[in-house]
Structure 1
Amino acid sequence: MTQHPPVSVSDAAAEQAMAWFVRLRAETATPAEHDEFQRWYRADPAHRRAYAQTAAFWGDAEFGRALAAAELTAPPSPRLRVRRAVPALAAAACLTLLLAGYRPTLDCWRADYCTGVGEIKSFRLGDGSEVTLNSASAISVDLNDGLRRIELRQGEAFFDVQPEPQRPFQVSGRYSTVRVLGTRFAVREDSADASVSVVSGQVAVARPEAEPALLQAGDSITVAARRSGDIRHSPAAGGTAWLKGYAAFENAPLSEVVAELGRYRRGTLLIRGAPLRDLKISGRFDIRDTDKALESLQQTLPIRVTRLTPWLVLIGKNAQG
């Protein structure tokens, strides 16, 4: 694969290049539009660099998959007018540019409490318990006389539960149900499983048709649809590091680190090339400033971070690495 030297492309030039790339792929593009593009292309070397990067990245398989996913998940917008003749991935590119910065979630619309991407916020419930929601998270709350029910619709939440012996506190998700009287713990819902980490007290973690696992302070467990993992004990409570504003990793692959950082920023982070995904990393990264975290990775690993737009970042091999 040909390696290109690092270049600086502004966000404005990158967005214009993407818009031109999409427009010119339409069968209905007019000669006047082609002439206008040529004037834009020749006007500034930054325009030519931005367009070359856009065209190069378009052929990347990971880039295509990300744009296809954006097309499937982004809601319609009255500001978006895409001609039917534009290929599916081109339409997805438009969606990425126009919607990634403010995309709401269906779970947020039907939840009682929710947070946006990159937002961490605490809420006081009616029983005096406190819940802190991580980035892009949502819960529904039902506090009745016999049972305090919380549904974790998406994301991750930390609970500081007020003890009420006559009214247990229950947190349910797709894969697990956590039941307590009074304790401090976190629950995270991912696409394939859920994880529970206990800071203090004791919780029972159950999944359908299985005996519950009892977790003490410092314990954590991962629960999937068909099985539960072993209980892990880590007094450092790494599962709640996000409450202090950082993510911690020990000998983790770059793919895992990038996926975690991606939870705290809008848009998409893509790694080009399978070998880069397996690079091992240990350390702590500030989730409140993911650009700084990406810069730290670039300084310590043989990678180059390229910001194609504010919402699309490519991570590839450093030409000198």
Structure 2
Amino acid sequence: MSNIQRNSHIENVAIEWLVKLNRDTVPSELEAEFMAWLQSSPAHQAAYIRAEQLWQRGEALQKLAQTTAQQPVKANFYFGWQGLSACAAILIVCLCVWLLPSAQQEILHFQTAKGQQLHIDLNDGSKVLLNTSSALDVAYTSSQRTVSLLQGEAFFDVAKDTKRPFDVETHQGTVRVVGTRFAVQHTELDTVITVLEGKVALGDKSDSSIFEQAVLLTPNQQTTFAETKLGLKPKVIDAEKNLSWRKQHLVFRGQPLRDVVEELNRYSSTVIVLGDASLANKNVTAVIQLGEKGVTAETLGSALQLNVTKDNSGRVVLSR
């Protein structure tokens, strides 16, 4: 098989995967098989990004039909899920910690380096996944469960306890729940709250530690403390996709390349930069497996037809 034939075959397989995954319900086994194929080669990853671009223009099935008409075997596929695309594989260090119960308040500190994630099991059955470059303190008493998010981002799966509310304290305000699954992220100027399951209240604690609720979030809603203070309504989002970092990959749906690069740079000390300012608004649709930054940049560059080089300081540069 020539290189041209091999590349054409890979692109057709990528389109077939896109069609198979374009269902309302995707079995976990099928998704795992897809991720294994995606991670097995940068060529697969680049081909899948191109397939997504063809799909958005309505050309993917037409291209597949033209190719398969020339082949003795036809592919069978299902129509389904929109959204997954390509990228490179990275190993993220994941640790697991068990917190022992304490009769008195004890402040426990946890922190991750860039590119690390930390699994924390709390003694009440709650679980925390601390994302890259993040830090938090945990303080439990007989009447209160308090987590202080000092920096970065964390996902919380909170065990229900009506007698002890679960508070996440940030620089901008307090997030209170009884039992739910949600994420809190510190940005440069604000705090973003995303709800996957249950209900989450945002507000402030007065000097007497009485919680004053400002807004109540429900599943697939997202807001910030700044937006809440301005009286803006929470955004309706796909929380599962928005919080895809929990599964060690990032999902982008038409985001500008500058935002994609900014997000990738949260996970590695190797910095990606844009060598051409005009690339900043280039839309990217992709699923990027958190992995080796150089491979990720190579994959993006190949799929978007960009050059990938390194400058004298070791930064990865994407340019035309």
CA distance in 1, matches of 2:310, 2:247: 27
2:151 to 136, 149, 154: 154
Tell me the SS of whatever aligns to 2:128: strand
2:247 matches 1:250: no
Change (3 A) 1:269 1:236: same
Contact 1:183 1:201 in 2 (8 A): yes
Q: Does 1:266 align with 2:304?
A: no
Unpaired segments of 5 or more residues in structure 1? 1-109
Question: Is 1:315 the equivalent of 2:317?
Answer: yes
The residue identity in structure 2 corresponding to 1:243 is R
> 1:127 offset after TM fit, Å?
2.3
Which stretch shifts more, 225-234 or 266-275? 225-234
- Measure the CA separation in 1 of the matches of 2:280 and 2:121: 40
**Aligned-residue offset at 1:235:** 4.2
**What is residue 280 of structure 1 aligned with on the other side?**
283
Distance 1:123 1:228, change over 3 A: farther
**Does residue 1:220 correspond to 2:217, yes or no?**
no
Partner deviation per Cα, 1:6-55 (whole Å, 9 max, x = no partner): xxxxxxxxxxxxxxxxxxxxxxxxxxxxxxxxxxxxxxxxxxxxxxxxxx
Match of 2:293 in 1: 290
Per mean C-alpha deviation after superposition, the further-off stretch among 197-206 and 299-308 is: 299-308
Answer yes or no: is 1:116 the counterpart of 2:113. yes
Q: The residue matched to 2:298 in structure 1 has which SS?
A: helix
Aligned equivalents of 2:232, 2:278: Cα separation in 1: 28
Equivalences for 1:1-321 in 2 at 5 Å? 112-206=109-203, 212-224=214-226, 227=230, 229-235=232-238, 237-308=240-311, 312-318=314-320
Residue aligned with 1:312, SS: coil
State, as a whole percentage, how many aligned pairs show the same letter.
31
Q: Which secondary structure does the structure 1 equivalent of 2:233 belong to?
A: coil
Secondary structure at the residue paired with 1:237?
A: helix
Structure 2 residue runs of 5 or longer lacking an equivalent are: 1-106, 207-211
Matches of 1:137 and 1:292, distance apart in 2: 24
Q: CA deviation at 1:216?
A: 1.2
Contact residue 286 and residue 292 of structure 1 kept, 8 A: no
Shift of residue 259, structure 1, vs aligned partner? 0.4
- CA 1:143 to 1:287, structure 2 compared with 1: closer, same or farther past 3 Å? same
Say if 1:295 and 1:111 are closer, same or farther in 2 by CA, change over 3 A: farther
Are the counterparts in 1 of residues 248 and 289 from structure 2 also a CA contact under 8 Å?
yes
Report Cα offsets for 1:227-266 as digits up to 9, x if no partner.
Answer: 4653122345222100111111122111100000001101
1:288/1:267 Cα in 2 relative to 1: closer, same or farther (>3 Å)? closer
Deviations 1:187-235 (A, max 9, x none): 1111122111111111102268985221112222133386465312234
Contact residue 303 and residue 315 of structure 1 kept, 8 A: no
* CA distance 1:235–1:252, change in 2 (3 Å): closer
Q: TM-score, normalised by structure 1?
A: 0.59
CA-CA distance at 1:272 after TM superposition: 2.5
Q: Secondary structure of 1:142's partner?
A: strand
Relative to structure 1, the CA distance from residue 296 to residue 221 in structure 2 (aligned partners, 3 Å threshold; closer, same or farther) is same
SS at match of 2:175: strand
| Structure with larger RCO (C-alpha < 8 A, sep 6+) | 2
RMSD: 2.4
- Asked if structure 1 preserves the Cα contact closer than 8 Å seen for 2:201 and 2:213, the reply is no
Contact 2:272–2:297, Cα closer than 8 Å, also in 1: no
Distance 2:190 2:127 in 1: 24
On the 8 A contact 2:274/2:319 being kept in 1, the answer is no
